[in-house]
């Protein structure tokens, strides 16, 4: 059997991203202060943003659609779906 990969709703994660849906900028909050590595992928798996932030992410260059946002902090990674308007 082959394991499958997916995106959970992260309801128990120690981070939040808002507003969602969004345009322009989103805020990323985590339970631990400090820098976060943020990688954004389109639904085809193409990396469209790779940056480090303390909490605000500029998404104004992204076209409308659904993206996956991977946030890594202190060797912990979580992924959430982001809708860009």
Kindly report the CATH number assigned to the domain that includes residue 74. 2.60.40.10
- Return the pLDDT at 10: 43
Is residue 63 assigned to a domain? yes
Between 8 and 66, the higher pLDDT residue: 66
**pLDDT band at 31, cuts 50/70/90?**
confident
Looking at the predicted structure, is the pLDDT value of residue 2 above 60? Answer: no
Domain total of the chain:
1
**pLDDT band at 1, cuts 50/70/90?**
low
Is residue 34 assigned to a domain? yes
Contacts of 76 (CB under 8 A, 6+ apart): none
In which domain, by residue range, is 38 found? 15-84
Q: What is the mean pLDDT of residues 26-39?
A: 93
As a 3-state breakdown, the chain gives helix, strand, coil percent values, each rounded to 5, of 0, 55, 45
Q: How far apart are CA 17 and CA 15, in angstroms?
A: 7
Is residue 2 assigned to a domain? no
- Return the pLDDT at 14: 80
Is residue 5 assigned to a domain? no
Is residue 6 assigned to a domain? no
Q: How far is CA 12 from CA 9, 15, 49, 80, in A?
A: 8, 9, 25, 12
């Amino acid at each position: 059997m082959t394991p499958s990969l997916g995106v959970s709703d992260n309801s128990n994660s120690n981070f939040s991203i808002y507003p969602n849906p969004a345009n322009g900028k989103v805020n990323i909050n985590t339970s631990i202060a400090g820098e976060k590595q943020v990688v954004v992928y389109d639904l085809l798996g193409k990396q469209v943003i790779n940056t480090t932030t303390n909490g605000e992410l500029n998404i104004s260059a992204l076209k409308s659609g659904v993206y996956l946002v991977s946030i890594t902090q202190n060797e912990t990674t979580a992924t959430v779906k982001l809708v860009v308007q």
